[in-house]
Chains A and B, each alone.
Chain A
Amino acid sequence: MSQPGIPASGGSLTGPQAQNGAASASGSSYTNGPIQNALLSAQGYNSQLPGSYSHLLPAKTLNPVSGQSNYGGSQTVTPLNNYQGPGQTLHRPPVASNAVTPSLHSGPVPRMPQHASQNPAATPMPSGGFHPGANVPPPLNWQYNYPSTGSQTNHYPRVSTGPTMSGNTNLTSHQYVSSGDPSLQNNFIKSGITPSTNNGSMMVHNRYDEIEGGGFLATPQLTDKNPTMSRSVGYSYPSLPPGYQNTQPPSTTGMPPSSLSYPSGPQAFTQNSLGANHLTASMSGLSLHPDGLRVINLLHERNMLPSTPLQPPVPNLHEDIQRLNCNPELFRCTLTSIPQTQALLNKAKLPLGLLLHPFKDLMQLPVVTSSTIVRCRSCRTYINPFVSFLDQRRWKCNLCYQVNDVPEEFMYNPLTRAYGEPHRRPEVQNATIEFMAPSEYMLRPPQPPVYLFVFDVSHNAIETGYLNSVCQSLLDNLDLLPGNTRTKIGFITFDSTIHFYSLQEGLSQPQMLIVSDIEDIFIPMPENLLVNLNESKELVQDLLKTLPQMFAKTLETQSALGPALQAAFKLMSPTGGRMSVFQTQLPNLGVGALKPREEPNQRSSAKEIHLTPSTDFYKKLALDCSGQQVAVDLFLLSGQYSDLASLGCISRYSAGSVYYYPSYHHQHNPVQVQKLQKELHRYLTRKIGFEAVMRIRCTKGLSIHTFHGNFFVRSTDLLSLPNVNPDAGYAVQMSVEESLTDTQLVSFQSALLYTSSKGERRIRVHTLCLPVVSNLNEVFLGADVQAISGLLANMAVDRSVTASLSDARDALVNAVIDSLSAYRSSVLSSHQPGLMVPFSLRLFPLFVLALLKQKSFQTGTNARLDERIFAMCQVKNQPLVYLMLTTHPNLYRVDNLSDEGALNINDRTIPQPPILQLSVEKLSRDGAFLMDAGSVLMLWIGKNCGQNFLSQVLGVQSYASIPQTMTDLPDLDTPESARTIAFISWLREQRPFFPILYIIRDESPMKANFLQNMVEDRTESAFSYYEFLLHIQQQVNK
C-alpha cells in the first residue's frame, strides 16, 4: 500500500495485474450505469472481500496509514477499527501502463484513428458503439464536438434536453457531458427513459473502457489502449457573449471560459510558458485596473459601493494562466496575491484563506473517464492546468515540484485525436473537472442512495401542522429524489416512543412497529424498514398519505429525539445515506434530553449567552454517523427555544445542513409554510453526493490552518463528508509555513471524491493558481474584500463559541483596524489625514460593519438565541455569495425600472437597476425598493408610492389596500409588471433555492427586518457607517 514506494513503472506489474483483474471486473460493474447497478454491484461485492477494495481517494501519500484510513469502512468492522483499516491491501491506481509503452509508441500519430476500429475487434463489446459501423457516429462525433478545426465557437447544446436524447444516443454516448446542472440531474430522474439512454450510452463507454482497460492490463495486447483510455468532454459553452463576466447570470459562469480559445497552433509545449519559470515576464506586464491602484480616503469618498454587483478581483497572472484558472464562484482566495512569507502575511494583518463551493451545480462540467487518473507520484495531486511539462514524457507537479512521467494513454488527446499532446488534454485545459473514479477509489461498492426521514409526532409537532406539508412535499417529489433503481427509503416517527414502519413489498398497508424501550433502543426487524423506493413506492405513498392523520389525536407531549436518532443511526449504519430529522421542540426524554437555557432578559448583553452545546451527545452521535457515512439534516420548526446550539452539532459534524423555521404554524404563519415547501422541494431534488471526502492540497510551503463548514476533519487536509450537497460552502484558513521565495505561483487543489446518486464514484477537482508577491503593497492590491469578510465571519463564529460574542465583535473591528493601520504605516509614504485605504479594501469597513449588524453578531434584544445560532450555522455553511448577500443585501429601486442597460437573456429583457447604499437616506416615500438578502427578497413600498406602480405592478388600488402579508406579485399585463417580475425572477434564478418575496408596507411586521438591514444607519446599539469610519480612523491614526 505504501504508495510512494510503488514504482510507477513496470516493476509492479505482477501485483497490480492480479488486482486489476479483479478490479476491472468489479469496476465495470460499477460504472455500468445506474440501471444495472443493483445487480452488478452486488456481483462486484461478492467478487471481492470488502477489505480488498483497493484504495481510495485523494490519499495523501507520505503516510501509508492515512492512505488506508478506511473511515467509513465496511459494516462488518467496528467503527473504531474502521478508521484505520489496518489489514487492507491497498493499491494505487494501476500505473502499470507505463511499463508497456515501448511496444506501442512506435506508432506515429496518424495511426491513432485506426485504433478505434481495431478495438472492437480485439475486445468483444456489448455495444458496437465504438465501431465505425452501423450505429456508430461519424468520427467527428467521437471528438465530443470539440473544435478540431480550431474553431472556438463550439456550443454543445445542454444535454438536459431530455426528450432529444434518445435520438442522440450515439452522439451523447461519445459525449460525456454530464453536467452538474441540477435540472439535468432531475431530468434523469423525472423521465424514466432519459436516464437509460444517457446512462446507457455512458455505460457503453465505460464498459468499453473497462473492458479495454482490463484486458489491457491483464493481457499483453496493449496497443489498443491509447486512443480511448481517457476521454473527456463537455466542451460546450454557454451561448453568451464573451463579455458575460459583466452580466454574470450565474448559470453560465459554471465553468471558466478557459480552454475555449486555447491557441490551436502546433505549439508543442506552450505549457511551459505557463510554468513558473516564464512568469517573470508576464508578471512584469501586469495590467491592474488603473482604479485598483488608487488610494481612497473613505471619509471623503462616501459612496464606494459599486452600482453593479461586486466582482471578485482577478489574480494578477499571465493571461494564459488566468484563462485557465478556476471560477471564483467555486474557489477563491482572500488574497489573490499570496504573500511570500508568513512575516509578510502577518504584516498585512489580513487573513489568508480559501472559500470553496466545491459541489456547486454547474452548467458545464467536463467529465473524464479514464482508467488511469494522472496524479503526482509523491503528493497525489491531480494533473491540472498549472503543471509544467518538462518534455513530452514528463510533467512537474505544481504543488510539490516532483517530476512525474506522463502515462502512455495520456499522450493521446481524445479531443484533437492527436498523439503527443499531453498539454492539450482536458485535464490540463480545465481547472474544474470531474473524473469517473475507477474501483481503486472505493473502499466498498458505491452505496445506494438511502433516505431516511425522522418525524417528530408529539402533540406539539401535530399542532404546528408541519407533517401535512412535509408529507405532501415528499409525495410530490418522490419521483424526483435523486437516485436510481437502488434508492432506498424509510421512515421513523417518534414522540415518547419510537415508531418504525415496515414497508415490505406485498403488504397491503404499511405496518407500524412501536419500540417503547428508549433506554436501550433496538431495531424491531432487520429488513423492510428501509425499502427499495421503486418496489415499494405504493406503500410509501400510502404511508405518506396516512401519516399526518395517524397522530392527529395524540396527547403525547414528550419528545425522545436522542433515542430516535440512535435508532435511525442503527438503521442506516450498514449503508450510510441521508437522514432528515424534523423536530419541533426541545428534546426532553431519554438520552440527549436538553434543558432550556435561554434567558430572555439576558439577550441584550453580549456575554453569558449559550453558544456552546450543553451536551456532547449530539456531537458524538454525529461522529458515529460520519464514520458510517450517514449525514443528518435537521429541520427545526419550533416556536420556543430548542437549543439549536446543542442540536445543531448533529448536522455540523455529519456534514448535514440545518434548516430553521421559527414559529412555524400551518395557519398562523403561512409565510413559513411556503418557505418550508420551497426549501423542501430544493432539498429533496437537489443533487447529492454520498460517502464523500474532500482533500485540499496546496503548494509546498503553505499549510492548512483551520477548516470552516459542516464536516468532520479527519486529518490535516482531509474532510469527511458523509453527504455533500450543492448548497454547502466551505472555508479554509491557510498559513505560510515556509517561505515561498523560490516560486512565483502557488496552487490550491480541492478534490472531492463522492458517490453520485447514480452509484458512480466520481472525483471533482478544482485547481486555483495564484501569484506570489514579496511586496506588501501588492498583497493589499490583490485583497479580495468579499472573501476576506466571509472568512472573518467564519473565524468570528468560532471565536464567539470558544470565547465570547463580544470578543468576536472586537476581533472583527480589530481586523479592520489592524489591516488599515498596517497599510498606513507600511505602504503609504506620506501620512495624510483621513482614513486611507487601498482600492481593493474600500468596502472592508462597510462589510465588517454589516457583519457586526448581522444576526450572528449583533447586540441588542431582538435576536433570539436560536435565531442567532442558526445565523451562525449559515455563516459556516453557506457559500460566499449568499453569505455576502445576507450580510450586506443589495438594494434596488424598482418603481422606475427601465430597459436602459438591461440584460437580454433568451429574449427576455431584464432591467438592471443600480445597487443603492443600505441607508434610509436612499429610500424615499414615493418609491418602491427591493432588497435582495439572499434567502429573502423584501419589497418595501413607500407611503406615497406612485399610483402607477401600485396599480400596474401590485395590482391594488391604493396604498391602504396592499394586503398585510403579500408574498407574490400578480402577473399583470403591463410593461411595468413585466419588468419587475422579470427582474425578480432573474434574481431568483441565480440561486438554487427560492427566495420568498415579502411585500412590506409601513405597518408590516417585516418592516423591522427590512430596516435592520440598513447597515449604514445608526441603530440603538451600533454605529452608523460614518461613525464607524471615524472610530476606525481614530484607532488607525493612533
Chain B
Amino acid sequence: MFSVQTFGDTGKMKDYHYTGPVEHRFSPYAFNGGTVLAVAGEDFAIVASDTRLSEGYSIHSRDSPKCYKLTDTTVIGCSGFHGDCLTLTKIIDARLKMYKHSNNKTMTSGAIAAMLSTILYGRRFFPYYVYNIIGGLDEEGKGAVYSFDPVGSYQRDTYKAGGSASAMLQPLLDNQIGFKNMEGVQHVPLTQDKAVQLVKDVFISAAERDVYTGDALRVCIITKEGIDEQTVALRKD
C-alpha cells in the first residue's frame, strides 16, 4: 500500500499551512486504527476488539475484527498496521503447527507469548507495527493476559487495552477492575458476566471519543468449554 507520508506519527494529519517545499518519503508503515482489549478472570479470559479498518480519513471496512483464534484456549488481538497484523498471525499459526508436529501437543498461552516476543524482536530494526495482546487460559485454567509492545517486550497482566483508544480505556480499566485510585472500596473479584458487560460499556465509550474505533465490537470469551464469540453494534459514524 503506497501511503504518502503526509501523516505525522500515529496517523494523525499535520496542520496544512505552507512551510516551503516538503519532501514526501515513502513509508512502509500505515496506521489502520482499531482498539483491542483483554481481561483475565479467575477461570475465563475475554479478548475484544472493534471491527473498523480505517486509513487516514477513509474507512476501508466495517467488518474487520482484530481478534484471531490461535488455539482452543488462546486468542490474540492485533491492532496497528493491518498488513503486519496479517503476516504476523500467519507466522504465529505456522509456528504453532510446527510445534504441534514436533512436540505432539498444543502450545500453552505462556509459551505462545514467549515465542511471540522472540518473533517480534527478530525484527528489532524494522519492526512489525502491531500492538498485540494475547488472552487465554494458562496451564492451571486461570485467565491470563499478555501484553506486548511492537518490539517484543511483554508481561503478564490482569487487563490491558491496546490500539488507538488505549490511552482512554486503560485508566477506566485501572479504576474498574484494578480498583486503583479509589479509597475504601471493597475489592470484589470479577465475574464473567460483569466483565463482559464492562467490556461492552468501555468500547461504547471508546467509540464516542476515538474516530478510529467503532462500527461493531467482537467479544471472544475463553473458558474451559471453548471460545464463545459475540458481536455488538457500535456507532458507525
Q: Do A and B bind? A: no
Binding site for B on A (CB under 8 A): none
